[in-house]
Structure 1
């Protein structure tokens, strides 16, 4: 992970009840995914081996977090037709699901009347928001994140996520 990204292990280990992740970009350009994404663009194939590449650390952390009784949900707001990056994300999402994450997809056109935060984020236990900042090409910005515990911000983020979640389609039913 980038030096601009906080220690996700510590962040998720601090969760006691819930951890939600809201993704709103149609493409990311972070380095640890680059090789797999390029291979997908060339071949259309994905490697669903949970021990390959950078997956073992993340999937192990997800399993540990869910195993402690924490509900881990990820919602993705996407433009349609989807980008190659979103097609790749969709293709590798079974790894997230197998580890215990719940994942849903919301077409951007169905989000027009939702007051959304301006950045991707994690919300931990409805108490702590971690905003992620990216450059225009989808790489980590500098700084790449900001924590926020302001009750009004936390409430806004929680309401936005729940509205997205309620409207979104579970991964198993969403096609790209």
Structure 2
């Protein structure tokens, strides 16, 4: 299986036409770019969020072109420290044009099953998946591109179902 890098995955935002959707299923992620800001937050120190500038710039550009970028974050409650930190930063994603909803794991609809072995994924224009692969510590190994019609259709159905039951960020109180 070939994996693309996070930078290559981000290039997909240059070619999608309407909608990008991210399903997040992990309570902890490991990313070298986040290590220092996350450690600062854990110590109660301020952050200038400069490390987020490339993502914020990208999101402002694509949403400024009339495209949508959405996420559903399925999380355990009580939250892990990482999800608490992520929640505190979400306002920056929202300000950049993303639409983010939260779904506590214990509120998942009965009978839900997650395609692609329960991994996180980005879905672009209901036609292409970038499925995340992580090591045992949550560090991103890369993304697997999948355009199989049946797999994509299963993810579209799940996205639509979870989007309806998830709570918009402005209403979600951890």
Could you tell me whether the CA contact under 8 Å between 1:114 and 1:163 is conserved in 2?
A: no
Structure 2, gaps ≥5 residues long = none
Among 136, 154, 157, the residue aligned to 2:155: 157
Could you tell me whether the CA contact under 8 Å between 1:77 and 1:106 is conserved in 2?
A: yes
TM superposition score normalised by structure 1:
0.90
Which residue is equivalent to 2:121? 121
Query: What count of residue pairs does the alignment treat as equivalent?
Result: 168
Task: Name the CA distance, whole Å, in 2 between partners of 1:36 and 1:13.
Answer: 27
Task: Name the CA distance, whole Å, in 2 between partners of 1:95 and 1:27.
Answer: 19
Question: Cα offset for 1:40?
Answer: 1.1
Per-residue Cα deviation, 1:43-66 (whole angstroms, up to 9, x for no partner): 1x563x5xx332111011001111
Could you tell me whether the CA contact under 8 Å between 2:9 and 2:143 is conserved in 1?
A: no
Task: Name the CA distance, whole Å, in 1 between partners of 2:124 and 2:17.
Answer: 8
Runs (4 or more) in structure 1 with deviation over 2 Å come to 3-6
Which residue is equivalent to 2:144? 146
1:1-176 equivalences in 2 (<5 Å): 4-43=5-44, 47=47, 49=48, 52-111=49-108, 112-117=110-115, 118-141=118-141, 144-176=142-174
Question: Cα offset for 1:89?
Answer: 0.2
Question: Cα offset for 1:6?
Answer: 4.5
Could you tell me whether the CA contact under 8 Å between 2:59 and 2:98 is conserved in 1?
A: yes
Question: Cα offset for 1:33?
Answer: 0.5
Structure 1, gaps ≥5 residues long = none
> Root-mean-square deviation (CA), in Å?
1.5
TM superposition score normalised by structure 2:
0.91
Tell me, what secondary structure is at the counterpart of 2:43? helix
